[in-house]
Amino acid sequence: MRYFFKLALRWKMDNYNTGELVIEGKTKKVWHLKDNPGFVIVVSKDRITAGDGEKAHDLEGKAAISNQTNKKVFEFLNSLGLKTAYVKHTGEKSFIAKKCEMVPIEWVTRRLATGSFLKRHPGVPEGFRFSPPLQETFYKDDANHDPQWSDEQIVSAQFKLNGLTIRQDEVEIMRRTALVIFEVLEKAWAARDCALIDMKIEFGISSLGDILVADVIDSDSWRLWPSGDKRLMKDKQVYRNLSTVTEEDLDTVKRNFKWVADQLDHLIPPPSSRVIMITVYTIHI
């Protein structure tokens, strides 16, 4: 652990020896670091998308805001002792992360029924409260609109990532971690009179075989309703709902994202000695 932090401190903002592009997504690029092969640099784009990329616009300033949001959320999660791939903020649009092989599953945790859930479950009223929060999993496949998967489908896929095969125990670790993250962030947002309605996260497997919270957590990742009022939403749903998109609309979206990033300064306390333990017990009969 001490070596890990010493290594992180040696990096300098403007002195990266980047290697090949690992992957380019709709809103970010991931690059190898030649001098630190166990790590990557993640660079956000000034780009906003929806509908599996079918709707997309350039949005100047979004990358910096998203990077700030991601930084504050992951620093909070790290302070709680949760295992994440996030290492450190490195620039206006970038951060360093542990290199992972990504589990191709999105973990969605919901407190209230809204959005795609209502389309898949006709008859359930919007705002139906899940207690405990409802958890769903979706296989990442843009061409097929990220179909919902069961535990059995995930286990049967036998994903093998950095030597670790994803079985039921690994699914349970990810499920419990996703729930813990949702609940701690839900309480933090509630202290700012803002309801966390739902959120999605992803996991990666490190070179050591550890399951880490990975990718990015920003305003693309959740629904936030100030005072619990959907009409005041501050998340990407504002953009999704637009039938036509004007520059004024994009400015509104960017202001909402900036509001979220600014609020995180108030709701996230400085790092403390709090540690969250997530344990899965397996009994073989």
According to the model, what pLDDT value does residue 15 have? 62
CA distance 84 to 78: 7
Q: Give the domain ranges of the chain.
A: 12-247
Domain at 12-247, CATH from 3.90.190.10, 1.10.260.40, 1.10.357.10, 3.30.470.20: 3.30.470.20
According to the model, what pLDDT value does residue 9 have? 37
Cβ 168 vs Cβ 62: under 8 Å: no
pTM assigned to the model: 0.89
CA distance 226 to 259: 11
According to the model, what pLDDT value does residue 278 have? 65
CB burial of 89-121 (b: ≥16 within 10 Å; e: otherwise) equals: bbeebbbbbbbbbbbbbbbbbbbbbbbebeeee
According to the model, what pLDDT value does residue 2 have? 41
Strand partners, 200: 108
According to the model, what pLDDT value does residue 7 have? 43
According to the model, what pLDDT value does residue 142 have? 87
pLDDT digit string (tens) for the chain, length 285 residues: 444 443 443 444 346 788 899 999 999 999 999 889 899 999 999 999 998 778 999 999 999 999 999 999 999 999 999 999 999 999 999 999 999 999 999 999 999 999 999 999 999 999 999 999 999 999 999 889 999 999 999 999 999 999 999 999 999 999 999 999 999 999 999 999 999 999 999 999 999 999 999 999 999 999 999 999 999 999 999 999 999 999 999 999 999 999 999 999 987 655 554 556 565 555 444
According to the model, what pLDDT value does residue 280 have? 58
Other C-beta atoms closer than 10 Å to the C-beta of 8 total 14
Q: Which residue has the tokens 């994903």?
A: 159
Q: Which two tokens stand for residue 4?
A: 């890990």
Q: Which two tokens stand for residue 110?
A: 């919901």
